Amino acid sequence: MKKILVYGELNSKDNTIEKVTFELLNKARRLSSEAKELKQDEEYIVEVVFCASYLVDDEINKAFKAGANRVVLIKDSVFDTFYSTVYADAFLEYFDKNPSDIILFPATPKGRLIAPRVTVQLDTGLVADCIEAEFVLKNDKLLFAPTRPTFGSELMATILSKKAPYCATIRKGVFKTDFSNAKTGEFVEYTPISYHEDRIKLIKTILNKDKNDVDFTNAKVVLCGGYGLYSNKSDEYYKKLKKLAKITDSFFGVTRKVVDFNLAEQKYQIGQTGSTVQAKLYVAFGVSGAIQHIQGMKNSKTIVAINTDENADIFKYSDYKIVADAKKVIDDLLIYFDIKI
Amino acid sequence: MNIIVCIKQVPDVDDIKWTKENNLDRNNMLSKINPYDEYALNAAIKIKSRFKEAKVTVISMGPKQAQDVLNFALAKGANRAILLSDKAFAGSDTLATSKILAAAIKKYCPDFSLILTGQMAVDGDTQQVPLSLAQLLEIPEITNITEICNADKNVAIVSVKTDLKIDIYEINTPCLLALKTECEENYIPKIDDYIRAQNIPIEEYDINDIGINKEDVGVIGSPTMVYRAFRPEIHKDTKEIKEDITKKILDFLLKVDNK
Ligand SMILES: Cc1cc2nc3c(=O)[nH]c(=O)nc-3n(C[C@H](O)[C@H](O)[C@H](O)COP(=O)(O)OP(=O)(O)OC[C@H]3O[C@@H](n4cnc5c(N)ncnc54)[C@H](O)[C@@H]3O)c2cc1C
């Protein structure tokens, strides 16, 4: 039987499984049924591999529910500190003995460091930052075909690899999670023998005090301000929008141009080089709809855009189009809430 | 102390042009140094300014036109420029590209202390070459660097600032450092700089000079290949709201299951 391996990522604070791992597990499971539909004798099992000093039962069970047939813990206290070389070497040691046909890595900061180190040593290809993955049937052979945005997302490219294992890093937030897998499977612990000592020392961590964590992962409603809210050389309307977000229990987001002009902090940025959101409702105020921005919000359920330019690209991606002055709309909404409160 | 900076010539992504067949019309696009690589170059030149014996070598793999970005780097203050150019290199993916760079570095600049790169290239944005290169040269790396606080022959101190925190790392050389943001002043070369740069010939090496196998480079040596390329299609049934705008938006906001 063939195997899809998901490289599992844990929260470094408490070793809980990061959501992206569940997303990849669900995708891996769907890929496995897709393979069977396309070619009957083709069956893949789904394995998830973690590098950590421990993993509690609750988390292991969640991994099974999310789609894993096999959960592997490469166990060593060395993993309490993250070094790409140490992780990659230990992973490879395990992988050499337990190979698989496909490896999915999360395109997270850590995943992006480990994946190239692993694939270079396997002398195989790596498709970066994918937003889709499927199988294609070519000359009666099933080929793993991930798709990635390229050229500043102006173009999508589906990439095949000539050599196994077929490897890709996958962006977080692009696939859904699903905890309906009823079967549990096998849990395996593996102790690595050899790994590289690293030549890096973390000498100091300073909290970036003026900044708080903005985590869009569970954002239901996002109010996003674009450069169209800029007026009178002030950030007045970004502040107003933030206030509106607070009142309505929504998330405040911005485009990169707004960040570039120092009108809001980078942590609020949505898009290819910012956060990806999958909101139930996404409202764009004065956003033009550049593809790099669209990448980060297009999977939202309902998209509403307010723009003065009736031909703005953002409308192509919107469920509701409103040609209006977004600043006035914000003012009107605030008036409504001021009265109510 | 030898510092290597890897630079790439990229099309200006703000100036993308397409052919009728949906291919990139590279001939009609402007090209420039990958902006992230320029951050790395600026940082390298800054380190060089602190040490008398420090030397900055810029390396680029690409077509002959990549001379432009190398000349630009020399004008900015690099001491040595290496162009890795060969028809056989065309179509190299990240693995093949990293192998070419690694082989050239081993041959022409093996005694480096630091390799500086940009975090990513704006045209590909895979972020894979720095890591692959570090792996092939078996050196550690730090990426997403926002500042190189200090660096000498033996050790570099860098900081990685995120929205949450600032991590300061100490890393022994030789190592690879990938820069994510502009951290040094961006010096724009003057005519005199270009004239001075003319005195430094660009060293050019092909596949035979470098001594790398044909099977490892270009289309043959690249495990990945483009199966299809398409521009994202959109099928949205967009409804226009013309009246009662505020009320309708309020409806959206208040009706969404917001728990
Ligand atoms: C490699 C790369 C990565 C990038 N990553 C990202 C990313 O992650 N996220 C991102 O957002 N961008 C990203 N960008 C930038 C992106 O290309 C655009 O430049 C940016 O998204 C534009 O922001 P904007 O829509 O706010 O501004 P603009 O493009 O300037 O649009 C402003 C819009 O506001 C409208 N407007 C003006 N006044 C009003 C008004 N009173 N009321 C209503 N509408 C009004 C205008 O008609 C216009 O459509 C990236 C670019 C590159 C090259």
> What confidence tens digit (pLDDT) does each residue in A89-106 have?
999 999 999 999 999 999
Query: What is the rounded distance in angstroms from the CA atom of residue A225 to the CA atom of residue A237?
Result: 8
**What's the mean pLDDT in B44-49?**
95
To 10 degrees, what angle do helices B94-108 and A109-122 make?
70
DSSP string, B44-105: HHHHHHH-TT-EEEEEEES-GGGHHHHHHHHHHT-SEEEEE--GGGTT--HHHHHHHHHHHH
Distance, in angstroms, between A198 CA and closest chain B CA? 7
Residues of chain A with pLDDT under 50: 340-341
How far is C-alpha B248 from the chain's CA centre? 46
Q: Ligand 1 pocket, A253 CB below 6 A?
A: no
Contact with chain A for residue B125, Cβ under 8 A: yes
Query: What is the rounded distance in angstroms from the CA atom of residue B23 to the CA atom of residue B5?
Result: 30
Q: Do A203 and B258 touch (CB under 8 A)?
A: no
Q: Do A267 and B163 touch (CB under 8 A)?
A: yes
- The whole model's pTM is what? 0.79
Q: Ligand 1 pocket, A305 CB below 6 A?
A: no
To 10 degrees, what angle do helices A109-122 and B129-136 make?
50
Q: Ligand 1 pocket, A52 CB below 6 A?
A: no
pLDDT attached to residue A341:
37
Q: Ligand 1 pocket, A274 CB below 6 A?
A: yes
Confidence of residue B231 (pLDDT cuts 50, 70, 90): confident
Residues B209-226 as b/e (b if ≥16 CB within 10 A, e otherwise) read ebebeeebbbeebbbbee
Contact with chain B for residue A99, Cβ under 8 A: no
Q: Considering only CB atoms, which chain A residues are within 8 Å of B249? A: 283, 304, 322, 329, 333
Q: Do A157 and B226 touch (CB under 8 A)?
A: yes
Amino acid letter, A121? Q
Restricting to A residues 262-291, those with a Cβ less than 8 Å away from any Cβ of B are: 265-267, 272, 280-281, 283, 291
Residue ranges in chain B assigned as alpha helix (H): 35-50, 67-76, 94-108, 129-136, 191-198, 207-210, 218-221, 245-255
pLDDT at B72 over 50: yes
User: Which of A151, A212, A221 should one mutate to test binding to chain B, selecting the residue with the greatest count of B CBs within 10 A?
Assistant: A151
Contact with chain A for residue B93, Cβ under 8 A: yes
pLDDT attached to residue B259:
39
Q: Considering only CB atoms, which chain B residues are within 8 Å of A246? A: none
Q: Which of A234, A285, A288 best tests ligand 1's pocket when mutated (most atoms within 8 Å of CB)?
A: A288
pLDDT attached to residue B224:
92
Contact with chain A for residue B145, Cβ under 8 A: no
Q: Ligand 1 pocket, B13 CB below 6 A?
A: yes
Confidence of residue B164 (pLDDT cuts 50, 70, 90): confident
Per-chain mean pLDDT for chain B: 90
Restricting to B residues 146-165, those with a Cβ less than 8 Å away from any Cβ of A are: 157, 161-165
Our CA dihedral for B167, B168, B171, B177, rounded to 10 degrees, sits at 70
Residue A291 Cα to ligand 1 middle (Å)? 9
Domains of chain A listed by start with CATH number: 2-190 (3.40.50.620), 216-340 (3.40.50.1220)
Q: Which of A241, A254, A273, A333 best tests ligand 1's pocket when mutated (most atoms within 8 Å of CB)?
A: A273
How are beta strands A2-7 and A102-106 bridged, if at all?
A: parallel
Stretch among A256-265, B27-36, B178-187 having the lowest mean pLDDT: B27-36
Q: Considering only CB atoms, which chain B residues are within 8 Å of A318? A: 236, 238
Q: Which fold has domain B2-225?
A: Rossmann fold (3.40.50)
List beta partners, residue A158.
A147, B228
Cross-chain CB nearest to A117 (options B131, B142, B236):
B131
Q: Ligand 1 pocket, A153 CB below 6 A?
A: no
pLDDT at B57 over 80: yes
**What's the mean pLDDT in B189-196?**
92
Q: Do B140 and A200 touch (CB under 8 A)?
A: yes
pLDDT attached to residue B19:
65
Q: Considering only CB atoms, which chain A residues are within 8 Å of B144? A: 109
Give the tokens for residue B153. Answer: 């022959």
Contact with chain A for residue B245, Cβ under 8 A: yes
The three-state secondary structure class of A287 is: coil
Question: Which of A173-187, B71-85, B160-174, B217-231 is most confident?
Answer: B71-85
pLDDT attached to residue B27:
67
Identify whether the C-beta of residue B166 lies closer than 8 Å to the C-beta of residue A205: yes
pLDDT attached to residue A340:
46
Which residue in chain B is spatially nearest to A294 when comparing CA positions?
A: B232
Residue A287 Cα to ligand 1 middle (Å)? 5
Q: Considering only CB atoms, which chain A residues are within 8 Å of B233? A: none
Query: What is the rounded distance in angstroms from the CA atom of residue B50 to the CA atom of residue B184?
Result: 13
Identify whether the C-beta of residue A8 lies closer than 8 Å to the C-beta of residue A49: yes
Identify whether the C-beta of residue B204 lies closer than 8 Å to the C-beta of residue B63: no
Show me where the domains of chain B are located.
2-225
**What's the mean pLDDT in B95-110?**
97
**What's the mean pLDDT in B222-235?**
84
The three-state secondary structure class of B117 is: strand
